[in-house]
Amino acid sequence: MKEIILDTLLDALKLLPFLFLAFFIIEFIEHRLTKKSKNIITKSQKLGPVIGSILGSFPQCGFSVMATNLYTTRIITLGTLIAVYLSTSDEMLPILLSEKVDIKIIVHIILIKIALGMFYGLAIDFFFRQKENKEKYTICEEEHCHCENGIILSSIKHTLNTVLFIILTSFIINVLFVYIGEDYLSKILLKDSIISPFITCLIGLIPNCGSSIILTELYLNSAISFSSFIAGLLTGSGTALLILIKSNKNMKENIMIIALIYLLGAFSGVIINIIGKIL
């Protein structure tokens, strides 16, 4: 057990400088783009899902939270909201970068999420037309995922929170690997099964950055397949779902949106799994 704890701590400490650098760059860009992004999404109209999926792919859940607030007053469409949710990766990118995963794989993951977000978003807007709402809107800053105390402090906060969660997640996974075995853990998660995406999608729905960290750690430890990893990431939108439930008073609609995200994520995972086996 001591060896597991020591290995877990050492692995997490090695990630600190890389995570901080990644979060610092992300925070710098995000603080610069947030207001511009809101205007772009608001004015994009029919191209909302296209713009939303691109902006949503940016790490952390800031854009998904912003899109949620814009949707509650119907400034953006349901398709745009879904596009942002599906493309959101939260803490996935910083972890993959800090683990020095092949950049081609990272780009591949991001492009898949953007493409699926665009496709599903445009399809939803085609079938579910909404009337424009002219209600005035202001973003509630206290609901934002990032803190407003400066880029450096915000980066440190994100880094420490992520490292702590990585330590907890890695420790649990390492213990399971040692005492249960990698093969058995993979069987529990149905790694090579067509059912696996349905399980990882449930993990992705956890309204916290922890879901993307759990999924990424499971994928890096080969406990879940690529298709299941993508499926889980598609349903993970950080704290945005909490904001949706809090801000949007129509609970039936909230349940429909969550169910829609889950089904789209699971369906996509199954299709990717099938394509992977064929190829």
* Residue-level pLDDT, tens digit, the chain, 279 residues: 777 788 778 877 777 787 787 677 767 766 665 555 556 665 666 788 998 898 888 766 667 877 887 788 777 889 999 999 999 877 788 888 888 899 999 999 999 999 999 999 999 999 886 544 444 444 444 344 444 557 788 778 878 887 887 788 778 877 776 777 666 677 777 787 889 999 999 999 987 767 888 899 889 988 899 999 999 999 988 778 888 888 888 899 999 999 999 999 999 999 999 998 887
In whole angstroms, give the CA distance from residue 6 to residue 15: 15
In whole angstroms, give the CA distance from residue 274 to residue 269: 9
Provide the pLDDT for residue 253.
93
The token pair at 262 is 């889950």
Q: What is the pTM of this model?
A: 0.76
Task: Provide the 8-state DSSP code for 205.
Answer: T
Contact call for residues 207 and 215 (beta carbons, < 8 A): no
**Domain residue spans of the chain:** 2-278
In whole angstroms, give the CA distance from residue 168 to residue 150: 27
